Structure 1
């Protein structure tokens, strides 16, 4: 069984990946600043990766501001790739986003695309898992889309999925041979962004009105109708929004 280091292994996806890998007999170890591993400063990285077979990177930037998020992903990824080469790591798995390889003006996507390029060109065997939006971020999307007391979102299509399913896909990928390629994963249903958030808020009894507004932005950027949905051939997971909502009340 493999020794697998999970960067961002204490977070929403990472903690699930660690648990799933360990359940399947691997030695999965969470790595994050809270465990003494900082991929920005480099602190603890070499020690953490010593003897590792696989590195899974599900870390995320604390800021979505254009320069900050680009600096985070390029610095962190360069640190990891250099340490992986030194340690002889055989497989680098990174979680990224559906749509980064399409024309868009989303700063976060540009930063992830830069991260992906570094990985592809590194010489380290890799797999890139592109996921659609998580159900878990429904509330955050609403909160960041408030205009004059209502939630304003475009009808751009999304095909969201449960974090549990994302973690399953990342786990399977980490346990397998490097793909040296990209895969896309998604949930089973497409919604307009406005409809996705409207259904979630309504189920939770949140009284905020959701307004379909094609001039509204998504995390600061205008998005086209199909920029956020997967292409043919994506791996589709079964959990629907209706399945997920009763099991995931909002956090207060």
Structure 2
């Protein structure tokens, strides 16, 4: 049996990239996984199919986080899916992975109010209210994992709006940890670095070489490597860790 046997999980933004890898790994560890997606239903169904082909259980749940009513709508869909597959509305693990990037290349002079608003709506406001409202489903001893980014601990002006909003997400982790500890619920941040998430930029050898140089391992990360770390944080093995910033950047932040 996997270490998440008889557990359930919701992974936001799980139709592709890091979110898909997290969903696959949690399912491999035994969790029933709700695969959230914003618009790409086909990709979400593919994630579900991959989980089912490996012997796991999953279902897709649509919600464009950041839109009005999206949090309540997502939780209603998740609750219905969990009841159908497990007979219970319990949600053991919540992974806030969905993100708005802030448009790569939009440095300080190019940032608009719309860019800032979108980043904060998706990367900070939605996770906060998702945690707040999901607490009715999360049992004592549950797990909340917020996926941030190494850019919050380094300098990357071309992603300033994204970094600002991810910094806010990390504050959610920090300030909720002591509040939820009374119920044995841990809240932690996992921060990936440059990770090959299937974006077309990773098909450019010169770009990959530049990105690889940021890591002490001189390569870009793989989505499965981030998912492995998330799986540990989601497990009982991480029960004595909360409020933490978990560096999953491949040593990018050492320099």
For Structure 1 versus Structure 2, the TM-score category normalised by the shorter chain is 0.5 to 0.7
- Give TM-score, length-normalised by structure 2: 0.61
Q: CA RMSD in A?
A: 3.2
Q: 2:187 aligns with which of 126, 131, 136?
A: 126
Deviations 1:38-64 (A, max 9, x none): 432224233225410110121121643
Q: Tell whether 2:105 aligns with 1:45.
A: no
Distance 1:138 1:10 in 2: 13
Q: Tell whether 2:30 aligns with 1:17.
A: no
Distance 2:234 2:144 in 1: 8
Q: 2:149 aligns with which of 88, 97, 100?
A: 97
Distance 1:3 1:127 in 2: 18
Contact (CA 8 Å) 1:9, 1:18: kept in 2 or not?
yes
Q: Tell whether 2:100 aligns with 1:61.
A: yes
Deviations 1:131-152 (A, max 9, x none): 1111346743899xxxxxx98x
Unaligned regions of 5+ residues in structure 1, if any? 144-149, 189-228, 233-252
- Give TM-score, length-normalised by structure 1: 0.62
Q: Tell whether 2:165 aligns with 1:111.
A: yes
Query: Is the partner of 1:87 in helix, strand or coil?
Result: coil
Unaligned regions of 5+ residues in structure 2, if any? 42-60, 80-88, 104-114, 181-185
| Number of the residue aligned with 2:121 | 71
Change (3 A) 1:103 1:38: same
In the TM superposition, 1:198-213 aligns within 5 A as: none
- CA deviation after TM superposition for structure 1 residue 78, in Å: 2.0
Higher Cα Rg, which structure: 1
Change (3 A) 1:42 1:107: same
- CA deviation after TM superposition for structure 1 residue 86, in Å: 2.4
Query: Is the partner of 1:42 in helix, strand or coil?
Result: helix
Change (3 A) 1:21 1:83: same
| Number of the residue aligned with 2:246 | 183
| Number of the residue aligned with 1:163 | 223
Distance 1:187 1:51 in 2: 34
Aligned pairs, number: 185
- CA deviation after TM superposition for structure 1 residue 157, in Å: 5.5
Change (3 A) 1:136 1:91: closer
Give the helix-richer structure, 1 or 2. 2
| Number of the residue aligned with 2:9 | 4
